[in-house]
Every structure is written in C-alpha cells, then in structure tokens.
Structure 1
Amino acid sequence: MPHELRFATFNVFNLALPGSRFYAGQEPWSIAQYDAKISWLAQQIDRLDADVIGFQEIFSQDALKDVLARTRHYRHAHHIGSDPQPRDGHLSPSVALVSRLPLLVPPILHDRLPRNLSVVLPDTPLPMTRFTRPVLQVELALPGHGSLHAFVVHMKSKRPDWNPDEADDDPYHLGMASLRSLIRRGTDALGLRYLMTDLQLRQRVPLVVLGDFNDDAAAVTTQLVMGSGRRDRSALYERLFDSYRIQSGRDPSRDVGFSYLHEGVYQTLDHVLVSEEFHPRSPYAIGEVLEVIYLNDHVGLRLAAASDHGQVVVRVRLFDQDGVS
C-alpha cells in the first residue's frame, strides 16, 4: 500500500530558556512568557503532525525538549540538535530536527564550509570559512525505500552585516554591510550545494532540505542550493526542487502561500526542497509531492507567544516498491 509522509520546517523565533539572554539589547523571556511560548509551540507542532520537522532559531535544546514534552504526538520522537556556541563574542541560534522516522547513523553537524571553501568579505580582515549557522544532516529510515538524508538549514538573514567601526547613517557603510550580508548568505548556499553534491556523487540517495533560507525560491541564493542554471535544463540529477512548484494536489500559480510578513510585504522565506526522487518526471521517482500547506494565520495577528514565521508542511506519497502510486 502507498505510504504518506509529512515533512515540515519551523522557525520557532528565539527559543531560549527563561532568564537566558539570547541577543544583546533584547530582554530574556520571563517565566510567564516562556510558558506561553512553549505551550503555543507544542500546540502548533501537533497541528503540523509531520513525521520529520526541521527547526531554526534554537538557543537551547533543553527548551525544545520542554516543548516536545507538552505535545501529544512527539514526546517519544527522536530529537537531534546541539546548543549554539559563541563566535567572536556573539551567540547565533542553532537548528534541530525532530523525527518519528528511525535514525540510521549518528547525525552530522557541519560547522566548517566543505572543500576548504574560503570567501573574502569586503572590509573584513578574515575570510568566511564557516557556515553562518551549522547545517544539520541526518540519515533516516524511509519506509520501503532504504534511507533519506535530511538537511536542516538557516541561512544568513538580509540584515546588514556591520563592522564595529561603521556608522549606520553612512550610505557607503550601509552598502558594504548589506553586501557582506548577501555574500554570507551566498556562501552558505554554495557550501550547502557542495555538501549535497559530494553526497550524491558517492551514492544516489533521496534528499530533503528543511529550512529558513531568508530568501524566496526564485532568489539566486536559493537557486544555487537547488543546482539551477545548468545548460541542460532537462537534467534532474543532483538538483533539488521547490516542493511548492512540483506539488500535484494544487496549482501553485493560483494558490499563493507565504511564511513571513515584513513591512506589509508577504514573503516566502521558508522552504522544503526535495531531490529528483520526488519529481514527477524522474525515472527514479520513489514518491510524489501531493500538497504544500502553509500554517500562517498567526503571522498577521502578531501573537506575543507565536513565531514570526509561518510553518511549511509538505505531504509526500511514497510509491510501492514496484513504482505504483
């Protein structure tokens, strides 16, 4: 019988323990705020009802454990992640994965960029040699189809990347800070593309990428992750695809989703990308993307306990081993 799975990505918005400072200039959560936050997150996770969930903006894995303990369906799920480590005196959030599918091997946390990638940033003495936030890679058992590699990512935001001596009212400084931010996000994207290419060169394996890309699916950085731009546009191998664009259950040209609202502009920054094993034209397809769902009612309401991002859920139907859907 065909088997359905759900994959989701969830930026939880600064999940930290009460009293713990996560950003300079921002007050820690009080006990009451923390209690309301983890209750809302637990309720939302149960609404997702996804088999695999990638999380972003985790400042404490213990806080995520508190969230999971309040859920109905994830108290015994696998929880993979590590607390963020300070860099240059700053604390940047980490990622995590929660899965109801079994883990096959120990997870990998990629901190350094692959292939000795090193990118020089303007007006900065040291090159970029690490991901902005580590990338989590987990190999999971896929019912009837061996395994699947899931990557959880959180790309550099569009906020200007300031040097300490730069003034935010100087047009040159603002331009350079914005350029550094773009280069960092692009480098994150290239590093992720290298990780997946190196994996696919070793073995043909289904992939899913769950993350906050801080850019839409048509952006150069996201397209870089997807492996777009090849001369042979019909080639599917080593590429990734936006689930939203290949879903069979809805027409994406008529059904517009969003996951973020900034200054009145609706954007989709959170994506679930899949490899050709879930593409309808691939001879190696083991399943199909049925539907992409956005849980975003809370974004416009700006609820105090809620995330500032919508959640993306992808329904996938796995084929029988004989390829029957």
Structure 2
Amino acid sequence: MKFFFLLFLFLLTWQNLHSRTIKIASWNVENLFDMHYQGTEYEEYVPGRHGWSEAMLRKKLEHTAQVICDLDADVIGLQEIENDEVLSRLQRLLKRVGCPYPYRAVTGGRAPVHTALLSRIPLAKVRDLPVTRYGRQRPILEATLRLDPSLKIFVNHWRSKRGPESERILYAKALRKRLMKLPPSTEYLLLGDFNSDWEEFRIIDPKLNDTGGITGINQVMATTRDGRMVRYRDLKRGQREFLHYNLWLDLPASQRWSHNFYGNKEAIDAMLIPPSLADGRRWEYVRGSFGVYRPSYLFGIHGEILRWGYRHGKHTGKGFSDHLPIYARFQTLPDLPVKTSAPEAKKPLPPGRLQCHKVTITQLQKAESPALPLCLDNAVVTFKRGPHAVLQEEGKGPTILVYGAAAALKEGHRYRIEVEGFKRYHGLPEIVDLEPLKDLGRVDLAPYIPAFRPEMMNDPAARFRVVRDLEGIYRHRQLWVRQHAWPIHFRSRRWKPKEGSRLRIKRAQIGYYKGHPELVIWDRNDFETVR
C-alpha cells in the first residue's frame, strides 16, 4: 500500500514539474484591411473612400491590439485579415505596447480576407489548406506549434450565411479529408468562425437548407452522432472514431454566443477537439476552461456588441468587431502507456440506446445536484419563446423551466428528452442544457393551459405555468385583480401600457424574479387594452 502511495506521489510531482498549460484563442476581428489597393477589397475598405484612411487604419489597429493584449492568449487564431502586410503592422504594434507575438502566419489567395495566427510559441510548419482547386474560398490555415509534444491548429473561416449550407460543407469536407490523412493519435485543435451554430442541424434556416438537413459542422465534422450532440464522455468512449466535441457544450446553453446579429445571439465561432485531446495523455483540454472574452468595453449601453463603426457611408473610428473572442486552455500530461484495445465499457453504444436514468419532472423539482444525464419521457412543451420553454408532465402534472436550451423544441409537441444541464436559480429548478432525443408528436394544449385563479400565484405546483383569461388594472408595474396585486413584466418595454389602463390578458406565464412570483407577457398579441 505504501509503495502505491509513493508511486502516486512521484507521478503527481513529476506531472507538476513537467506540465505546461497554454491559452489558445480565436477572434474574428471584422475586416482588417491595409492601405494598398489590391482590387479584392470590399467597397467600404478601398483606400481613400468612405473615410478609410491611414489614420482610420491606425485606430482599427489600436482597437484590435487592445483586445488581443488584454485577452493575453499564447496563441490566437484570427479571421478577416486582408494580408501579411496588415498582420505585420498589428504584430509590430503589439510589440510596441508590451504584448509581443514573435511568430505569425496568414493564408494567401485572391479572397478579400484571410485566416491568420499570432503566436508566442514558435511555429514548426505552416500550410494553406485549399477548399477547392479553383474556387475563391478562403483557405484554411494549418499550423504546427513547435512543442514537445507537438500540437496542430487549424484556423477556419467558412462561408457566411449569405450562401447556402452546401457552401459551408465544401469547407467541412476539405478539412475532414485532411484530418483523415493524419495519424490516428495526432493532437489538433479546430477553431475559427465556422458561420454555423453548435446545433445547426436542428435550427438551420430553411432558406439555406439545400443539403437535406446535413450540415458541415455537425454531420461532416462529426460533432453529432446518432442524431445527438457528441458530449465529452463520448470522446472517452470513441478513441478510435472520427469525432469532435464542440467546446460550447461546456457552457450553459444560454451563454453559448459570441456574435449578436440584430438581437439573434449566435455561436458561430467555435473550438472543436478530437478524442486525442481527451485521452488523459500528452496534450489535454482543461475541462471548464472554455469561455467567451466579455470585457465591458466591448459592449454598448444597451448590451450590444460594439462592432467597428460604419455609419452613413463613413468609418467612424469607434468600436471593435461584431464578434467576441473565445478561448480555452490546454495542458500537457505524462505520456503514459495505454492499452492497445479499449475496454468493453468504452465501446460506442448502439444507436438509440439510452445511457441515462429515467426521471419525472416531479423528481427533478425535488433534486438538488442530480447526476447527469437524466431522461424525461413524455415531456410536453406547453410554452416556448426563443430559447426558453416550459415542460410539463402529462395531464395536470408539474412544470419546469428550460432556460436558454429550447431552440430545437416546438411548442405543442411531446418529447423524450435527455437532461444534460440542471441548476437552481433562487431555489427554483431549471434545465439549462438538453438533448431532444425524439419528437413524439403534437398534443392538444387546451388541457394544459388553465384559466387564471388568484391562488395560483402562491401555489408551488403552478410555477412557470401558462394561464389564460385574466383582467385587471395596470398601476405602478402591477396588475390589480380585485383586491390582489402582482408584479407584471412585459418582455418589450414598447408594450408597457399607460397607468390606469384596464388590460384583458389572453395568455400569460407565471414567472419568478428573484424568487418572487410575477406575471410575464411574452407576446404583444397576448393582451389588449380595454376602454
């Protein structure tokens, strides 16, 4: 026993002495162009037009350098860099302000913007990975860090959503083809602006879906398997498979965004890791280290991302980018010997086989820190707005809130659901991450939406329930119904009625704010003012 303890102590000490941790980031800087006319510039960045001048370029470089310096990553992949000349200027500025990145790389070609890399670690090898032989697509940058053990980084900037999904699949197929040629144990990281959400296969815009629901980031890059997202535990079980884990899944679903397009929060920037970065040896992803860089100066007074300013046909010299940087940490572990054959428990489960304990919403409401995943059968979506929803057991059963994780669910449908994230907010249970395993079809919601009764506001069984048919007077942000008064919240400030208005509410949700009940109006059509 003493021998094993000393051996463990020796290995732990050895690991601490020889381990190295590095921070890797990715950021779309939004159109960093130089002042030399190439003929490929976007119209707004033609030198001498629209206020794009040497002075404006210096401001853009200073703002970009500020973010990179504060981010303090060892390696950062960049998107929307015009060429090596402007990257070199950024590199020199970073050195001048005390944030040196001695090594750089950028792809070539005739595209207006390219992918690039700044690094404090020497680069052993750099190459462009073309997407097609003759196209004008932006090449993927492949760089190998001069480390022991080595680590490859692929910097991506896939086709924007101005084009259909088939154009992003071109990038995915080119990348997959290259990865399949690497030795099975190769350690690499895929990062960049993929212009695809982490669950794109579930929420793809029908106007862009020219591939029958197949998406580049999910099916081609294998961040899904058997119709569900690949989870970190799947990497452990699939060491010999072509699989990738999207690091966005380390965060609650409501926090999965780095780009805000007119109020539509998207996770189009991403980092994907293969099983070789989760096998407990050599390079390893540090669990929980993935994040979005969100300093206050990157946001406006209304919470909007302060993108680079362009108004009335002129550059304003204000702002940064329409994307937020993302980052993660990776560390080296001892290269211990591994078994040549995987244990039986690590073999992939057959399609459709559940690997989670079945529970009811009643049991979830009582849970504190349940072991995940858990499975809910016959959960009815009685209400859905954006990424939020309410699930209810059949009949008059209890409800539970899905916060930020319901984008793929449909109101009025029954599901079999795998709960992947659970927390309590001011003591109330919430599902913050889930997998919709199977849509069991539509249901009639009429029995699930009862007429409002005052006693519901203090009834634990009515938490988050949707109710109908109530009428009252609006005064001081409260709805007065006879002798009762409850706070009422309108999801848009534009809907707020005048003081003393009589409201007839067709549908409202019994919500909770800091543990206190309130009525929530989610849709302008759910109420009217009665004269």
Aligned to 2:44: 26
Aligned to 1:312: 326
1:198 aligns with 2:198: no
Contact 1:14 1:22 survives alignment (8 Å): no
1:6 aligns with 2:6: no
1:262 aligns with 2:261: yes
Residues 1-325 of structure 1 aligned to structure 2 (within 5 Å): 1=16, 2-18=19-35, 20=37, 23-28=41-46, 29-71=52-94, 72=97, 74-85=99-110, 91-105=111-125, 107-113=126-132, 130=135, 132-142=137-147, 145-160=148-163, 181-199=164-182, 202-219=183-200, 220-230=215-225, 234-237=237-240, 238-245=242-249, 247=250, 252-253=251-252, 256-279=255-278, 282=279, 284=281, 286-290=283-287, 291-296=289-294, 297-298=298-299, 300-304=305-309, 305-321=319-335
Taking only aligned residues, the RMSD between alpha carbons, in angstroms, comes to 2.7
Q: Report deviation, 1:230.
A: 4.6
Q: Report deviation, 1:53.
A: 1.1
- Of structures 1 and 2, the larger Rg is shown by 2
SS state at 1:317 partner: strand
Question: Residues 259-308 of structure 1: CA distance to partner in whole angstroms, max 9, x if unpaired?
Answer: 111121111111111222332xx355642324112124345233534111
C-alpha change, 1:307 and 1:286, in structure 2 (3 Å) is same
Separation in 2, partners of 1:275, 1:73: 34
Contact 2:33 2:45 survives alignment (8 Å): no
Question: Residues 211-242 of structure 1: CA distance to partner in whole angstroms, max 9, x if unpaired?
Answer: 10001122232113532455696424332221
SS state at 2:168 partner: helix
Q: TM-score, normalised by structure 2?
A: 0.47
Instruction: Name the aligned partner's letter for residue 55 of structure 1.
Output: L
Separation in 1, partners of 2:83, 2:283: 36
Q: Report deviation, 1:322.
A: 5.2
C-alpha change, 1:225 and 1:285, in structure 2 (3 Å) is farther
Report the number of matched residues.
Answer: 272
Contact 2:140 2:154 survives alignment (8 Å): yes
Contact 1:136 1:151 survives alignment (8 Å): yes
Contact 2:158 2:168 survives alignment (8 Å): yes
Greater per-residue strand proportion: 2
Q: TM-score, normalised by structure 1?
A: 0.75
Instruction: Name the aligned partner's letter for residue 68 of structure 1.
Output: Q
Q: Give the structure, 1 or 2, with the largest relative contact order (CA under 8 Å, sep 6 or more).
A: 1
Contact 1:189 1:221 survives alignment (8 Å): yes
Contact 1:243 1:289 survives alignment (8 Å): no
SS state at 2:58 partner: helix
C-alpha change, 1:129 and 1:54, in structure 2 (3 Å) is same
Aligned to 1:164: none
C-alpha change, 1:244 and 1:11, in structure 2 (3 Å) is same
Question: Residues 22-51 of structure 1: CA distance to partner in whole angstroms, max 9, x if unpaired?
Answer: 545424322222111000111111112111
C-alpha change, 1:229 and 1:267, in structure 2 (3 Å) is closer
Q: Report deviation, 1:182.
A: 1.7
The percentage of counterpart residues that share the same residue type is 25
Separation in 1, partners of 2:101, 2:25: 18
Q: Report deviation, 1:192.
A: 0.9
Contact 1:132 1:184 survives alignment (8 Å): no
Separation in 2, partners of 1:24, 1:48: 28
SS state at 1:301 partner: coil
Separation in 2, partners of 1:293, 1:49: 13
Separation in 1, partners of 2:61, 2:81: 12
Q: Report deviation, 1:320.
A: 4.0
Query: Which range moved further: 16-25 or 305-314?
Result: 16-25
Aligned to 1:172: none
Instruction: Name the aligned partner's letter for residue 78 of structure 1.
Output: Y
C-alpha change, 1:312 and 1:32, in structure 2 (3 Å) is same
SS state at 1:132 partner: coil
SS state at 2:130 partner: strand
Separation in 2, partners of 1:215, 1:112: 17
Separation in 2, partners of 1:112, 1:242: 22
C-alpha change, 1:65 and 1:225, in structure 2 (3 Å) is farther
Question: Residues 161-185 of structure 1: CA distance to partner in whole angstroms, max 9, x if unpaired?
Answer: xxxxxxxxxxxxxxxxxxxx32111
Q: Report deviation, 1:19.
A: 5.7
Question: Residues 103-138 of structure 1: CA distance to partner in whole angstroms, max 9, x if unpaired?
Answer: 223x1111254xxxxxxxxxxxxxx86472101111
Q: Report deviation, 1:318.
A: 2.6
Separation in 1, partners of 2:118, 2:325: 15
Contact 1:5 1:318 survives alignment (8 Å): no
SS state at 1:227 partner: coil
Query: Which range moved further: 309-318 or 37-46?
Result: 309-318
Q: Report deviation, 1:83.
A: 4.1
Separation in 1, partners of 2:254, 2:162: 29
Show structure 1 runs of 5+ residues with no match.
86-90, 114-127, 161-180
Instruction: Name the aligned partner's letter for residue 262 of structure 2.
Output: E
Separation in 2, partners of 1:74, 1:111: 31
Instruction: Name the aligned partner's letter for residue 102 of structure 1.
Output: P
